[in-house]
Amino acid sequence: MRKKVCKTCKKEKPFSEFRRSNHTVDKRTKSCSACIDKKKGLNPEEDRIFKQQAAMLQALESSAGNVSKACKAIKISRQTHYDWLDKYDNYKKGVEEITEALIDFGETALLKNMKKGDTTAIIFFLKTKGKNRGYVERVETEDVSDPWTLLAKRSKERINGGND
Ligand SMILES: [Zn+2]
């Protein structure tokens, strides 16, 4: 009889004692059925969280990554989502995968519009990816209550800017 060692209880057991959820023997199942059942029984709270997380990942996907919307859909707080990100690596990985997929999707759509000559798409692209070529929208936050100081500052900037 073929046997293997259970990862959890470290006992050598026959293959028939390693089953998957559909009761078939699977070589990849690392813990014996008894240990798996015990683990599930010991932590129903965690099991519930994992199910919620799976639902949240689906909600994120269908809401195009909108956290508030997804949280509302599965009835958890935003804080819970952020706690999960900190605590559960698998959850974090799942969220990252969805985000990456959405970015890929967005880039494909953007590229399509740019090729069609869509000015808004082109401006957006240049402002985000073309920053190093000078396509930057500057936000002016200077105080203009003292125009002389500002003028002096601008002149100095112009002089310094000419040096490079
Ligand atoms: Zn075991």
In a domain, 130, yes or no: no
Rounded distance between C-alpha atoms, residue 56 and residue 62, angstroms:
10
Could you give the CA distance from residue 2 to residue 4 in angstroms, rounded to a whole number?
A: 7
Ligand 1 center–CA 34 separation, angstroms: 6
pLDDT of residue 144: 61
What are the DSSP calls for 25-75, one per residue?
B-TT--S-HHHHHHHHHH-HHHHHHHHHHHHHHHHHHHTTT-HHHHHHHHT
**How many angstroms separate the CA atoms of 4 and 25, rounded?**
12
pLDDT confidence of residue 24: 55
Residue 53 confidence (pLDDT) = 95
**53-96 per-position pLDDT tens digit:** 999 999 999 998 999 999 999 999 999 999 999 999 999 999 99
Residues 48, 106 within the same domain:
yes
Distance 24 CA to ligand 1 centre (A): 17
36 & 78 share domain: no
- Total domains present in the chain: 2
Q: Would residue 164 count as lying in a domain?
A: no
Report field, pTM of the whole predicted structure over 0.85: no
Task: Report yes or no on 107 lying in a domain.
Answer: yes
Query: What's residue 112's pLDDT?
Result: 96
Q: From the CA of 45, how far away is ligand 1's center (Å)?
A: 21
What separation in Å is there between the alpha carbon of 163 and the centre of ligand 1? Answer: 72
The boundaries of the domain holding residue 103 are 44-116
pLDDT at residue 158, rounded to an integer? 73
The Å distance, Cα 93 to ligand 1 centre, comes to 28
Tokens 């869509």: give the residue: 118
- Tell me the per-residue pLDDT of 13-65, one tens digit each, with 9 for 90 and over: 888 788 765 555 556 778 888 888 777 776 667 778 989 999 999 999 999 89
What is the reported pLDDT for 96?
Answer: 94
Q: How far is the CA of 18 from the centre of ligand 1 (A)?
A: 9
- Residue 140: per-residue pLDDT: 58
